[in-house]
C-alpha cells in the first residue's frame, strides 16, 4: 500500500520536468494523468472478474509485477507517446493494488472491515504523502524525472514479499461486475447511486486536478523552486492525512451529511481564493488547508456503500472507485487546457466549480443520505 501511494502522484510530481524535457505545454502534459487514470479505470473494473478466476495472492502479486514492468519501462521511455502507454499500464496495475485491499477487507473482515481499511489506507496515505518528497529529492539531485519512476519499482519488490508467504483468503462470493449487477444496483436505489457516483467523480477530479497542477502553478506563476513546490504538494496531502483522523473523530458526534456539505463548501471557497491572492505565503498556508477540507469528503461519500445490499456492495465499491478514476482522467486535463489558454490563476481557481458540483449532488440525494444508517469514515481512494 505504501508504494501504490507513491505511484499515485508520479504524474503530478514529474509533469513539470517531463514537459520541460519533451518541450510542450499543459495541453500535452495533462495526458500523463489521463493515461494513468484510464489504466486505473480498466484495472478497477476488472477486479471482480479477476476474483472469479484467480486467488487473492495471485491478483496482488500479478499486479505487483505488472507495476514493476510498467514503471521500469516508463523510466527509460525515449518518446512521450510511449511514456503514455507505459503510464497506462502503471495505472492499470496500481488501480488494482489500491482498490483490491478495500474490496478484500469489505468481504472478509466483517464488522472489523472499517478498522482494517483504516490501517491499510493509513499506509497508503503515507506513500502519497512521501511521493512528492521522494520525487523532489531525485529530480533535484539526479536532474532527471526518470528515477522518480524507477525507484518505486525497486521498492515494491521487497515490500511485496510478505504477500508470497501470507495466507490470503480467496473471495469466492464476489459477484462479477456486469450489466445485470448494474441493473440490481440501480433497482435498489437509483437516486442514491447516481448522486454518490457523480459526487465521487467530481470530488476525485478536484483532488486530482490540484495534485496535478500545484507544482506547475507554484513553479511557473509564483516562481517557487521545484523543491519547495513539491513540499507544497506534500503539504496538501499532509492536510488530508491529518484531517481524516480529525474528521473520523468528529463523526461520532456530528451528522456526516452536514460535515460533507461544510467541507465541500469550505474547499470550494479556498480553491477560489488561493490562486487569486498571488502570494507564495498564502499558497503554502492555503493548500494544506484545502487538504484539511478535502480530507473528510471521500470517506463520508464512500461510507454509504454499506447501505447497499451485501451481495452487490463489492460491485458498488468498485463502480465508485472507477467513478473517481474517470473523474481523475478527464477533468484535470480540462484544467490543464484552462491553465494553458487562460492562465494558471483561472485554471487553478476553476477547480472550485467541481466542489460546488459535489455540494449540489449531496443536496440532490439528501433525503436518501439522511435516511440511511450513519456511514463510517476511514476509506481512502484517491483512484482513482
Look at residue 119 in the predicted model and tell me its pLDDT: 65
Determine what percent of the chain is predicted with pLDDT higher than 70. Answer: 90
Query: Residue 296's pLDDT is what?
Result: 84
208-231 pLDDT, tens digit per residue, is 899 888 988 998 899 998 788 888
Indicate the pLDDT class of residue 199, thresholds 50, 70 and 90.
very high
Residue 109's pLDDT is 67
pLDDT, tens digit, for every residue of 94-136? 999 988 887 777 677 655 554 566 667 667 777 888 887 787 7
For residues 319 and 374, which has the higher predicted lDDT (pLDDT)? 319
Domain 2-371, CATH number (from 3.40.50.300, 1.10.10.10, 1.20.1250.20, 3.10.20.30): 1.20.1250.20
pLDDT digits (tens, 9 = 90+) for 276-310: 998 999 999 999 999 999 988 887 887 777 677 76
The listed range with the strongest mean pLDDT (133-142, 214-223, 247-256) is: 214-223
pLDDT at 382 over 50: no
pLDDT at 379 over 70: no
Q: What is the 3-state secondary structure (H, E, C) of the chain?
A: CHHHHHHHCHHHHHHHHHHHHHCCCHHHHCHHHHHHHHHHHHHHHHHHHHHHHCCHHHHHHHHHHHHHHHHHHHHCCCCHHHHHHHHHHHHHHHHHHHHHHHHHHHHHCHHHHHHHHHHHHHHHHHHHHHHHHHHHHHHHHHCCCHHHHHHHHHHHHHHCHHHHHCCCCCCCCCCCCCHHHHHHHHHHHHHHHHHHHHHHHHHHHHHHHHHHHHHHHHHHHCCCCHHHHHHHHHHHHHHHHHHHHHHHHHCCCCCHHHHHHHHHHHHHHHHHHHHHHCCHHHHHHHHHHHHHHHHCHHHHHHHHHHHCCHHHHHHHHHHHHHHHHHHHHHHHHHHHHHHHHCCHHHHHHCCHHHHHHHHHHHHHCHHHHHHCCCCCCCCCCCCC
The rounded mean pLDDT for the chain is: 83
- pLDDT for the residue numbered 271: 96
For the chain, the domains span 2-371
Amino acid at each position: 500500500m505504501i508504494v501504490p501511494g507513491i505511484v499515485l502522484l508520479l504524474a503530478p510530481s514529474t509533469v513539470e520536468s517531463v514537459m520541460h524535457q519533451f518541450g510542450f505545454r499543459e495541453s500535452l502534459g495533462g495526458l500523463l494523468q489521463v493515461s494513468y487514470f484510464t489504466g486505473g479505470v480498466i484495472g478497477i473494473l476488472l477486479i471482480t472478474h479477476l476474483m472469479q478466476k484467480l486467488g487473492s495472492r495471485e491478483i496482488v502479486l500479478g499486479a505487483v509485477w505488472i507495476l514493476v514492468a510498467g514503471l521500469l519501462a516508463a523510466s527509460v521511455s525515449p518518446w512521450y507517446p510511449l511514456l503514455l502507454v507505459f503510464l497506462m499500464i502503471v495505472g492499470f496495475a496500481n488501480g488494482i493494488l489500491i482498490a483490491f485491499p478495500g474490496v478484500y477487507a469489505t468481504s472478509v473482515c466483517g464488522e472489523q472491515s472499517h478498522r482494517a481499511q483504516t490501517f491499510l489506507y493509513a499506509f497508503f496515505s503515507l506513500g502519497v504523502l512521501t511521493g512528492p518528497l521522494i520525487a523532489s529529492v531525485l529530480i533535484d539531485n539526479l536532474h532527471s524525472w526518470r528515477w522518480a519512476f524507477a525507484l518505486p519499482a525497486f521498492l515494491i519488490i521487497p515490500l511485496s514479499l510478505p504477500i508470497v508467504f501470507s495466507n490470503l483468503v480467496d473471495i469466492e462470493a464476489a459477484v462479477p461486475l456486469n450489466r445485470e449487477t448494474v441493473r440490481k444496483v440501480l433497482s435498489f436505489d437509483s437516486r442514491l447511486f447516481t448522486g454518490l457516483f457523480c459526487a465521487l467523480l467530481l470530488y476525485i477530479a478536484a483532488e486530482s486536478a490540484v495534485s496535478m497542477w500545484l507544482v506547475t502553478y507554484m513553479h511557473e506563476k509564483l516562481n517557487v523552486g521545484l523543491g519547495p513546490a513539491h513540499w507544497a504538494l506534500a503539504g496538501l496531502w499532509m492536510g488530508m492525512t491529518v484531517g481524516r483522523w480529525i474528521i473520523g473523530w468528529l463523526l461520532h458526534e456530528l451528522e456526516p451529511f452536514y460535515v460533507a456539505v461544510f467541507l465541500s463548501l469550505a474547499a470550494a471557497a479556498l480553491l477560489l481564493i488561493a490562486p487569486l491572492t498571488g502570494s507564495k505565503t498564502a499558497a503554502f498556508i492555503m493548500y494544506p488547508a484545502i487538504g484539511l477540507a478535502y480530507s473528510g469528503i471521500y470517506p463520508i461519500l464512500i461510507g454509504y456503500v454499506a447501505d447497499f445490499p451485501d451481495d452487490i456492495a463489492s460491485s458498488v465499491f468498485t463502480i465508485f472507485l472507477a467513478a473517481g478514476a474517470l473523474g481523475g482522467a478527464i477533468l484535470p486535463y480540462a484544467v490543464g487546457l484552462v491553465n494553458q489558454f487562460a492562465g494558471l490563476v483561472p485554471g487553478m481557481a476553476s477547480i472550485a466549480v467541481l466542489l460546488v458540483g459535489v455540494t449540489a449532488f449531496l443536496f440532490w440525494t439528501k433525503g436518501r443520505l439522511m435516511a440511511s444508517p450513519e456511514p463510517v469514515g476511514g476509506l481512502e481512494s484517491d483512484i482513482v
